Every structure is written in C-alpha cells, then in structure tokens.
Structure 1
C-alpha cells in the first residue's frame, strides 16, 4: 500500500468527489484508523481492515471491498501502514 496522511487523502478524495463532506470523511478516517489499531477485522473474511476503505464504505479488508488481491498501488493511512 502507498502511505498517505489523513489530510492528504481527504483533500484528494474530496477533489475527486465534491459531494463528499470533508469533515465527516476526516472523522470516519480517524475512527477507522483507531479501529484498525485496535485489531478490528473484516466482517466478511476476518482479515485486518483497510482503514481507507472502511471509512468510505464499510468495515472490511481491501480484497473484500475491491475484489482485488494486489493493493500495492492503493492508498492506506500512513499511521497504519506496515512495512
């Protein structure tokens, strides 16, 4: 995953999705980061959640949300990225 800060993601996402409320997105991202740090798992498969996807859609992992296995070019909040 490509690390990105909450603010940078909010700016990028809201630029591409002008109907999105940046304050709500920021709040949802902070909660998803907290959930991920607390060990929350995908309700569907049990893998660790994808914070960005969980904030935008619902609490799930990258693969369950996107149907893709390769997340190497997708964003994740920097404070929960593991090298």
Structure 2
C-alpha cells in the first residue's frame, strides 16, 4: 500500500469523483481509521480492514473489496500503514 494523508486522499478522490461530498468522505474515513486501529476485521474473510475501501463500501479487506491480491499500487491512510 502507498501511504497517503487523509486530506490528500479526500482531495484526490473528490477530484476524480466530483459528486462526492468531501466532508462526508472525511467523516467516513475517520471512522474507518478508528475501526482499523481498534482491530476491525473484514466481514467476509477475517483479515484486517482496508480503511479507504471500508470508508466507501463496507468493512472489508483490500482483496474482498477489489477482488485483487496485489495492493502495492493502491492507497491506504498513512496513520494506519504498518510498514
């Protein structure tokens, strides 16, 4: 995962999705980050959640939300990146 600040992600996401409400996205991200820090797991497979994906869809890991295995080119909020 590529670490990104919450504000940088909100700006990037909203630029690419003009109909998205930045404040709502920010609040959803804050909750997903809090959930991940508190040990939330994917409702499908039990792996740790992907905060960005969980803020937009539901509590899921990267693979369950995207159907992909390689997350090396995808973003995650920097404060929950462990490596």
TM-score (normalised: structure 2): 0.99
**Which stretches of structure 1, 4 residues or longer, exceed 4 Å deviation after superposition?**
none
2:48 aligns to what?
48
1:33 aligns to what?
33
**1:3 has 2:9 as partner:** no
**CA distance in 1 between partners of 2:70 and 2:16 (Å):** 23
**CA distance in 2 between partners of 1:61 and 1:69 (Å):** 10
TM-score (normalised: structure 1): 0.99
Q: Could you say what the CA RMSD is over the residues aligned between the two structures, in angstroms? A: 0.3
| Count of residue pairs the alignment pairs up | 83
In the alignment, structure 2 segments of 5+ residues that lack a partner are none
